[in-house]
Chains A and B, each alone.
Chain A
Amino acid sequence: MESELVLKKIEEVRRKRLKEMWEVFKSNKSAYYSLYVVIAIASLILIGFIYTPYDPYDFDLSRVRQPPSINHPLGTDELGRDILSRLMVGGRYTIGISVISVLLGTLLGSILGLISGYFGGRLDAIIQRFVDVTLAFPTTLLAIALMVSLGPGMLSLIAAISISTFPVYARLVRGAVLQLINEDYITAVKLLGRSSWYIMFRHVLPNILSVIVVQSTYYLGFSILLASSLGFLGLGIPPPTPEWGAMISGGRVYLFSSPHIVVFPGLFIMVTALAFNLIGDGLRDALDPRSRMFIRRF
């Protein structure tokens, strides 16, 4: 028996399926180009770790509020610092914080949702009441309140955003799990004698992954806005850190006289958030196997 060949082919087929998913994603033009945008911005930030045109913290009052020029492609801000360099470094904070927060929120919320939905009963009720309470607060207000009580700084910011975002995952994942546990293949695996945790992670999770991933991309967009809003309000990382929201806050006064100080960070925030959202749309179609099958009765 050429079992080696057969096992290899099984792998091939599996890879082909992943490739098909990629093709579906690619066919969504906005999602595809958004991916490029995100890669471009990420590259910019990564380059910022080893090189920036100027020192983002070096302020020179003789060069304040200069509009874009050859020397400073995006101009200088209210303290004479190069905006491009500040954006490159600040992105670490804005996007980095968003990514970490969303990751934490996803992890916490998904696990809670999984347990809640799969085990049900008392545990479910307790977790859901807890989630309900957290959801009752408007997200932004909750984040502000948390920031005020936790004090400024990156860790507080991450905590605030994670806490604000995990409840939605708990709800979402619980709903998806509830829909899934009645499927016969879940029952069949139970009959094989596998443990509940095995079933949750091997069978339930992969089938709800698309829901989680898509929600995460939307939340990435949202948390970028949230992080920068908090930064704008002065509740984020203290200056002179060039977090994008803080940059807008700093240049607020000069909105009409030197709009570039506000516009460029604002543009970056908007474009990044939008790109993540569009990628989310593309992922949703690519990840859900059922949307690729056309089920119809003739």
Chain B
Amino acid sequence: MEAVIKAVNVRKYFPVSTGIFTAKKYVRAVDGVDLELFSGEVLALVGESGSGKSTLGRILVGLQKPDAGEVLYRGRNIYELNNSSSKNIRHKIQAVFQNPDSSLNPRMQIFDILEEAILTKKPGLSKAEVLEEVIKLLRVVGLSDDHIFKYPHELSGGERQRIAIARALSVEPEVLIADEIVSALDVSVRAQVMNVLMDIIEKFKLSVVFITHDMGLVWSISDRVAVMYLGRLVEVGSTEELFKNPLHPYTKMLLVSSPTASSTMAYKDLRFKARGEPPSPIDPPKGCKFITRCPIADQQCSQVDPQLNVVFRDHKVACIKVNT
């Protein structure tokens, strides 16, 4: 299967100012990530705060140039494009973000917001043709025609997110990065937006990176899962495999702690109850970064920095305690 997006050894470090005389310190937001997004799949990128998942999302969509490594769209490095191809490829990878209050320009009517997007792809359209496209887009996300007259503050959070999705769709993307798109919405509205997402994935054959911390949503929508901890991938595998047989202690901890994952699991291994706090991202411990919270860590773990190794087919884990 072809990888639509391929991230190769991507790194992004953010400098932290600690003083004029002390050495420069860095937060290793993304610390060597290899990731593939296959055509037509939904890949869930899971992690908590400090995992680097949002930074990785921004790197994948072309907003944040990595300090090292490359991001390839169908073989081409998206950060090294000449001007003529860059707009086309830029349209192929779009994103929707978390905050419904800032996703739309408060001074623009919905029609204007969508018109602007449509015109970047098809600048020659007449006003009437644009209107047609706008109505079509609204239908796709399940909103009625009269939304075109409204201003963002007249819409609910869920509706605003749906407009943001419509805007992303207007340039006919192949890849969509959805960064916590329903986390800020009420539960009853979440389902509306998730259903719209599922519809468009099917209808437009999108490949999606679904960034979230909600394991229930992961179970519901994704084909594969990549779990991130402190800038690294610690486990990658197909969703069913990962939920049935989680291997990395952090994955187990996430599943045990998630109220929405409870219904999906046969039993809870309470050895992996949540404990401890993530260590400082500026001064991570030597060896395995999860050592401060891991119930099965030992001496060896503090000396070896585990790599992502294949366990079974496409199920990979970065943990020396798991037989690979």
A and B touch in the complex (CB under 8 A): yes
> Is the CB–CB distance between B87 and A193 below 8 Å?
yes
Is B94 interfacial (CB 8 A cutoff)? yes
Chain B 49-91: CB-based contact to A (< 8 A → 1; otherwise 0): 0000000000001110000000000000000000000110011
Chain A contact surface mostly:
helix
In the bound complex, CA of A245 to CA of B164 (Å): 55
Is A50 interfacial (CB 8 A cutoff)? no
In the bound complex, CA of A103 to CA of B127 (Å): 35
> Is the CB–CB distance between B61 and A10 below 8 Å?
no
A210 nearest CB neighbor, chain B only:
B107
Binds B, one of A74-82, A105-113, A181-189, A267-275: A181-189
Residues on the A chain within 8 Å of B153, using CB: 289-290, 293
In the bound complex, CA of A191 to CA of B151 (Å): 22
Is A192 interfacial (CB 8 A cutoff)? yes
Is A1 interfacial (CB 8 A cutoff)? yes
> Is the CB–CB distance between B120 and A193 below 8 Å?
yes
Task: Please judge, given known A-B contacts A185-B103, A191-B61, A290-B106, whether A6 and B95 are in contact too, CB under 8 Å.
Answer: no
In the bound complex, CA of A202 to CA of B120 (Å): 14
> Is the CB–CB distance between B117 and A192 below 8 Å?
yes
Greatest chain A CB density within 10 A among B86, B94, B105, B107 is at B105
Is B131 interfacial (CB 8 A cutoff)? yes
Is B149 interfacial (CB 8 A cutoff)? yes
Is B208 interfacial (CB 8 A cutoff)? no
Is A7 interfacial (CB 8 A cutoff)? yes
Is B111 interfacial (CB 8 A cutoff)? yes
Residues on the B chain within 8 Å of A185, using CB: 102-105, 113
User: What is the total number of residues of chain A having a CB less than 8 Å from a CB of chain B?
Assistant: 29
Is B116 interfacial (CB 8 A cutoff)? yes
> Is the CB–CB distance between B151 and A17 below 8 Å?
yes
Partner of A3, one of B102, B107, B128: B128
Contacts across chains A and B counted by CB atoms under 8 Å: 79
Greatest chain B CB density within 10 A among A1, A17, A184, A203 is at A184
CB distance from A35 to the nearest CB of B (A): 23
Is B109 interfacial (CB 8 A cutoff)? yes
> Is the CB–CB distance between A183 and B111 below 8 Å?
no
> Is the CB–CB distance between A188 and B164 below 8 Å?
yes
Is B257 interfacial (CB 8 A cutoff)? no
> Is the CB–CB distance between B102 and A193 below 8 Å?
no
In the bound complex, CA of A61 to CA of B283 (Å): 86
> Is the CB–CB distance between B107 and A10 below 8 Å?
no
CB distance from A189 to the nearest CB of B (A): 7
> Is the CB–CB distance between A187 and B97 below 8 Å?
yes
In the bound complex, CA of A138 to CA of B106 (Å): 38
Residues of B at the A interface (CB closer than 8 Å) are 61-63, 86-87, 90-91, 94-95, 97-99, 102-107, 109, 111, 113, 116-117, 120, 127-128, 131-132, 148-149, 151, 153, 164, 167-168, 171
New A-B contacts (4) at CB < 8 Å, excluding given A10-B149, A190-B63, A191-B168: A7-B131, A184-B99, A185-B105, A188-B97
11 pairs across A/B with beta carbons < 8 Å? A3-B127, A9-B149, A10-B111, A185-B102, A187-B97, A192-B90, A192-B117, A202-B116, A206-B105, A290-B106, A293-B153
